[in-house]
């Protein structure tokens, strides 16, 4: 057997366990080895029952008796009396009825859980249980816990891994030995052994350090190799016309922030070079990314070249086209701006494509329609991609291939990205951050409410609607939630606001339907719009002042921040009501968003609470997860970056390291914004 062997070939692993492992996505020995524990229980410090105090405890006990019963709302409670040679204590589990039959007479068990006072009595609540007899298999007393499915336990996974320790011990190295020596890393084989079977907490720490370093090193190396490759290309140099820039700014109906001015100047300097610009503008809700993009496009058009602006949805593309048209109309260039989206008729598309090919349209805004084969843009010199994470690599590359020469690339992201994450993921990018808000943007007042508390606000919302304002009501799902599905919320809204016109919009509607509904809301033919997260980014309805978000804890912090940014965009202040179930209490995440309007701070908090995956999903769909590395570990990130730069600057050949070459090649494809 080797790492590519299928799991059923492991001695003693039957069809039933193999099927369950397959269900977890594990098909080969390599898959299993790289299936890291989600947490660890430390059974190394055993206390006597007579000595335990409130807090986390670990005891070695025998179970004397167990009883079970159902309480309110179907809650099952299992109580047990356990004892050691020093005394006895009560143990309680909630909704774990199998505990009634899982203990064997005269067998000793380790329990680790919280000893505390509840319901007027002390007990160990919901402890994790391990049979003492299993510990030779589990290696010492630090026990890994895996994400599992019904019919398979962490113990099953540990036993299966134990059978292939000889394969783990012979896992080949992925990182050059000189880098391992320089940063005092343990071998990959030792790290994989210790991540599954740590003898001590120190062993576990070093295993995580090694595997985390490797993740970061590979990601940064991929990014640096992309950058090196990109710098070999040539692009058209765009001239800067100061007089035109001043005229454009004077005609704007608002004053640019210092952050906007700085970003625009950075873009202009980039585009004057004959090397292609590769810049990401990331900005909080309402920070003015569209104005920055428009000013970048202005200089390209003035140089006789074309700009393609690709948005992820037709709603957003139309919104951008409307905004850009107004800006360019003030200087007489609105006839150079065109929109190309799938909802247009065949004749409309043909007309737009002809104008693009003959350079009559120089600023083309659209969706995926821009990357169709029929679209020819011979003078394309700047590609602007809004919410770039929503496009696949092939889609982005297809748009760039419309150009005869390598175009400049400007990516926009409305998701504030923590600096540590940006530096790690996007080393090949130059980044401009729009933190400062325009003067006329007021902070959104955010309030946390239980369902019953929401009723008290209905009257105030009704009053605002009667005064001519509008409202969004957001559902967490189209149909997967029995209470908060978009259709159920739509029924609720029609009932509670029966005198107003209520619309509904979600991802399963056809593009024409979505466009019509959105137009009806923008033109105030609808007072209330019930929606899923299709309205999350870019929707600009200045008259909307209230947003109600049901089951708010189901959303990420960044997502909630984006959603509340849909209101208060005009002259009237906005308010966001985040609703949670009556039987719950607000989480720390919800309390954080209630107290802060700073998207960058909230993104940092999301990173700490939910890990990088929460942000990956927003920035770069398909990017491999950092499963071990902590992006708050500045020292490890710096070491990995230093090692990656050493690798690139010394022209070390990837061909010497087959596994490293394979992983880096994949990462180059998914992290490359080009």
**Residue 390: pLDDT band by 50, 70, 90 thresholds?**
very low
Distances (CA, A) of 332 to 244, 245, 338, 634: 12, 14, 14, 50
pLDDT at 180: 95
Q: Could you tell me which residues come within 8 angstroms of residue 34 by beta carbon, excluding any fewer than 6 positions away?
A: 192
DSSP state of 485: B
Segment 36-53 shows an average pLDDT of 88
The SS3 assignment for 49 reads helix
The SS3 assignment for 306 reads strand
Segment 536-560 shows an average pLDDT of 85
pLDDT at 104: 85
| Cα-based angle 356, 361, 366 (whole degrees, multiple of 5) | 75
Q: Which range (56-65, 184-193, 478-487) has the least confidence?
A: 478-487
Q: Which range (7-16, 76-85, 310-319, 612-621) has the least confidence?
A: 612-621
DSSP state of 338: E
Judged against a pLDDT cut of 50, whether residue 584 lies above it is answered with yes
The SS3 assignment for 674 reads coil
pLDDT at 192: 96
Q: What is the pLDDT of residues 521-534, one digit of tens each?
A: 999 999 999 998 88
Between CA 18 and CA 449 the distance in angstroms is: 46
| Cα-based angle 85, 104, 51 (whole degrees, multiple of 5) | 25
Q: Are 78 and 66 in contact (CB under 8 A)?
A: yes
pLDDT at 670: 60
Per 3-state DSSP, the chain is made up of helix, strand and coil in percentages (nearest 5) of: 45, 20, 35
Percent of the chain with pLDDT over 70: 88
Tokens of 59: 């005891």
Q: Which of 13-17, 237-241, 589-593, 648-652 is predicted most confidently? A: 237-241
Between CA 285 and CA 282 the distance in angstroms is: 10
Which domains does the chain possess? Answer: 1-44+148-168 (no CATH), 45-139 (2.40.50.140), 242-272+286-413 (3.40.50.300), 445-596 (3.40.50.300)
Q: Which of 267-276, 384-393, 421-430, 608-617 is predicted most confidently? A: 267-276
pLDDT at 372: 72
Q: Are 17 and 156 in contact (CB under 8 A)?
A: yes
The stretches of 426-556 forming alpha helices (DSSP H) are: 451-454, 458-466, 486-496, 511-522
CA dihedral 417, 420, 426, 427 (to 10 degrees): 150
Between CA 257 and CA 255 the distance in angstroms is: 6
Judged against a pLDDT cut of 80, whether residue 538 lies above it is answered with no
Segment 127-134 shows an average pLDDT of 83
Segment 593-608 shows an average pLDDT of 78
Nearest to 469 by CA among 577, 549, 569: 569
Q: What is the pLDDT of residues 196-218, one digit of tens each?
A: 999 888 999 999 999 999 988 99
Q: Could you tell me which residues come within 8 angstroms of residue 115 by beta carbon, excluding any fewer than 6 positions away?
A: 52, 53, 54, 55, 56, 57, 89, 122, 123, 124, 125
Segment 297-305 shows an average pLDDT of 95
Judged against a pLDDT cut of 80, whether residue 439 lies above it is answered with no
657-662: long-range contacts at Cβ-Cβ below 8 A with a sequence spacing of 24 or more? 657/173, 657/174, 657/175, 657/176, 659/172, 659/174, 660/174, 660/175, 660/218
Tokens of 442: 């007021």
**Residue 385: pLDDT band by 50, 70, 90 thresholds?**
confident
Q: How many Å separate Cα 360 from the centre of its chain?
A: 40
Judged against a pLDDT cut of 50, whether residue 267 lies above it is answered with yes
Between CA 264 and CA 432 the distance in angstroms is: 9
Judged against a pLDDT cut of 80, whether residue 393 lies above it is answered with no
Q: Are 373 and 348 in contact (CB under 8 A)?
A: no
Q: Are 572 and 487 in contact (CB under 8 A)?
A: no
Segment 100-129 shows an average pLDDT of 88
Q: What is the pLDDT of residues 145-191, one digit of tens each?
A: 898 887 788 888 998 999 999 999 999 999 999 999 999 999 999 99
Segment 654-669 shows an average pLDDT of 83
Segment 360-385 shows an average pLDDT of 86
Helix (H) / strand (E) containing 249:
helix 242-251
Q: Which range (5-9, 71-75, 334-338, 415-419) has the least confidence?
A: 415-419
Exposure string of 392-430, with b = 16+ CB inside 10 Å and e = fewer, is: ebebbebbbebbeebbbbbbbbbbbbbebbbbbbbbbbe
Q: DSSP readout, 365-421?
A: EESGGGGSTT---TTEEEEEEETGGGS-HHHHHHHHTTSSSPPEEEEEESS---HHH
Q: Are 427 and 641 in contact (CB under 8 A)?
A: yes
pLDDT at 559: 81
Between CA 211 and CA 209 the distance in angstroms is: 6
On average, the pLDDT of the chain sits at 85
Judged against a pLDDT cut of 70, whether residue 56 lies above it is answered with yes
């Amino acid at each position: 057997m080797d790492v590519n062997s299928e799991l059923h070939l492991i001695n003693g692993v039957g069809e039933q366990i193999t099927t369950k492992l397959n269900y977890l996505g594990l098909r080969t020995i390599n898959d299993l080895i790289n299936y890291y524990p989600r947490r660890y229980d430390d059974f190394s410090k055993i206390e006597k029952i007579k000595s335990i105090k409130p807090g986390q405890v670990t005891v070695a006990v025998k179970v004397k008796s167990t009883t079970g019963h159902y309480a309110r709302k179907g809650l099952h409670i299992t109580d047990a009396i356990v004892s050691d040679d020093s005394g006895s204590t009560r143990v309680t589990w909630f909704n774990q009825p199998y505990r009634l039959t899982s203990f064997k007479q005269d067998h000793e068990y380790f329990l680790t859980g919280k000893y505390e006072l509840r319901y007027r009595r002390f007990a160990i609540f919901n402890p994790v249980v391990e049979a003492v007899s299993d510990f030779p298999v589990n290696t010492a007393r630090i026990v890994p816990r895996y994400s599992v499915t019904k019919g398979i336990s962490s113990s099953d996974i540990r036993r299966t891994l134990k059978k292939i320790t000889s394969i783990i011990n012979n896992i080949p190295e992925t990182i050059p030995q000189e880098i391992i020596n320089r940063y005092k890393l343990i071998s990959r084989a030792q790290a994989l052994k210790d991540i599954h079977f740590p003898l001590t907490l120190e062993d576990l720490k070093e295993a995580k350090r090694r595997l985390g370093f490797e993740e970061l090193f590979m990601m940064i190396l991929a990014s640096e190799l992309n950058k090196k490759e990109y710098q070999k290309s040539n692009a058209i140099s765009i001239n800067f016309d100061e007089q035109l820039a001043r005229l454009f700014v004077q005609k704007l109906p608002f004053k640019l922030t210092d952050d906007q001015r700085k970003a625009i100047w950075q873009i202009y300097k980039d585009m004057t070079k004959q090397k292609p610009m590769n810049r990401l503008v990331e900005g909080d809700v309402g920070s003015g990314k569209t104005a920055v993009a428009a000013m970048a496009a202005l200089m390209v058009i003035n140089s006789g070249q074309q700009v393609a602006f690709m948005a992820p949805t037709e709603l957003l593309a139309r919104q951008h086209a409307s905004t850009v048209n107004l800006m360019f109309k003030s200087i007489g260039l609105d006839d150079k701006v065109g929109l190309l989206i799938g909802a247009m008729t065949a004749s409309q598309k043909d007309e737009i494509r002809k104008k693009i090919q003959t350079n009559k349209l120089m600023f083309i805004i659209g969706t995926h329609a821009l990357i169709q084969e029929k679209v020819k843009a011979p003078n394309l010199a700047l590609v602007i991609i809004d919410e770039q994470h929503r496009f696949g690599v092939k889609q982005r590359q297809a748009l760039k291939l419309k150009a005869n020469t390598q175009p400049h690339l400007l990516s926009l992201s409305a998701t504030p990205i923590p600096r540590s994450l940006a530096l790690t993921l996007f080393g090949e990018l130059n980044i401009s951050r729009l933190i400062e808000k325009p003067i006329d943007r007021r902070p959104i007042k955010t309030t946390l409410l239980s369902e019953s508390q929401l009723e008290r606000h209905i009257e105030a919302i009704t009053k605002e609607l009667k005064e001519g304002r509008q409202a969004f009501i957001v559902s967490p799902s189209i149909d997967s939630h029995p209470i908060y599905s978009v259709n159920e919320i739509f029924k609720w809204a029609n009932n509670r606001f029966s005198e107003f016109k209520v619309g509904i919009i979600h991802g399963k509607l056809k593009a024409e339907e979505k466009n019509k509904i959105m137009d009806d809301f923008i033109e105030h033919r609808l007072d209330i719009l019930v929606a899923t997260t299709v309205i999350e980014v870019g929707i600009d309805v200045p008259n909307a002042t209230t947003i109600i978000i049901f089951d708010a804890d189901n959303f990420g912090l960044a997502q909630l921040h984006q959603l509340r940014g849909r209101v208060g965009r005009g002259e009237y202040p906005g308010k966001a009501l985040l609703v949670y179930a009556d039987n719950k209490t607000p989480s720390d995440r919800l309390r954080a968003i209630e107290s802060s309007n700073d998207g960058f701070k909230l993104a940092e908090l999301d990173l700490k609470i939910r890990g990088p995956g929460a942000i990956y999903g927003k920035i770069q769909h398909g990017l491999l997860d950092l499963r071990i590395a902590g992006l708050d570990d500045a020292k490890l990130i710096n070491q990995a970056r230093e090692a990656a730069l050493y690798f690139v600057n010394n022209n070390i050949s990837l061909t010497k390291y087959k596994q490293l070459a394979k992983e880096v090649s994949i990462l180059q494809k998914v992290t490359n914004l080009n």
